[in-house]
């Protein structure tokens, strides 16, 4: 299972669209809020199934703020992160992940990409493909999931793909 994970598009997603045209084999598109409607548009355009939560800029209702998905035996909490103080610390979001018994927490809000393992929980922030902060690049994450684990990698959307001639 391969997930394209994005967050904080804020209505600016041309680079995501370009990268999705290049990528093959994406099973799900995941959007972690702040213009989740962008992901709905991309999902329809590319025919990729979608899971999303809303962020603080989406005017969410309580039931749209987080979701637990399960695939290949792995449980993942999807949340924007603003309710868990992710700009200041990670303990609160880790506690929520442990409470829910997840293997990973995917969140956004900071606009800064990050992959980190905290004991038994993987934290993933794909960054922002439109408005990165603190010198970060414009990124999304590609995540491969199988029965052995969750394997994320960050993708710099401004990196030029070079085709080598045979």
Residue 61's pLDDT is what?
A: 83
On whether residue 165 sits in a domain, the answer given is no
On whether residue 129 sits in a domain, the answer given is yes
Residue 166's pLDDT is what?
A: 47
Helix (H) or strand (E) holding 3: strand 2-6
Whether the full predicted model's pTM is greater than 0.95, yes or no, is no
On whether residue 35 sits in a domain, the answer given is yes
Residue 163's pLDDT is what?
A: 52
| Cβ neighbours, 10 Å, residue 26 | 16
pLDDT tens-place values along the chain, 166 residues long: 999 999 999 999 999 999 999 998 999 999 999 999 999 999 999 999 999 999 999 987 888 999 999 999 999 999 999 999 999 999 999 999 999 999 999 999 999 999 999 989 999 999 999 988 998 899 999 999 999 999 999 999 987 665 555 4
Phi and psi angles of residue 107, each rounded to the nearest 5 degrees, phi first? -145, 165
On whether residue 161 sits in a domain, the answer given is no
CATH of the domain at 148: 3.60.21.10
Using CA atoms, how far apart are residues 164 and 166, in angstroms rounded to an integer? 6
Range of the domain at 26: 2-156
On whether residue 66 sits in a domain, the answer given is yes
| Count of structural domains, the chain | 1
Which two three-digit tokens encode residue 101? 């018994």
Using alpha carbons, select from 40, 27, 38, 34 the residue that is nearest to residue 69. 27
């Amino acid at each position: 299972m391969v997930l394209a994970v994005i967050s904080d598009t804020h209505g600016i997603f041309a680079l995501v669209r370009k990268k999705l045209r290049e990528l093959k084999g994406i099973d799900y598109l995941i959007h972690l809020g702040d213009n989740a409607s962008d992901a709905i548009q991309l999902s329809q355009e590319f025919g990729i199934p979608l899971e999303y939560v809303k962020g603080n800029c989406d005017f969410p209702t309580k039931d749209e703020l987080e979701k637990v998905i399960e695939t290949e035996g792995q449980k993942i909490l999807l949340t924007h992160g603003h309710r868990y103080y992710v700009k200041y610390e990670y303990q609160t979001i880790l506690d929520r992940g442990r409470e829910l018994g997840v293997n990973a927490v995917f969140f956004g809000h900071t606009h800064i990409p990050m992959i980190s393992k905290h004991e038994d929980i993987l934290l993933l922030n794909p960054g922002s493909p439109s408005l990165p902060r603190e010198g970060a690049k414009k990124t999304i994450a590609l995540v491969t999931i199988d029965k052995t684990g969750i394997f994320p990698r960050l993708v710099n959307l401004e990196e030029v793909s070079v085709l080598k001639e045979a």
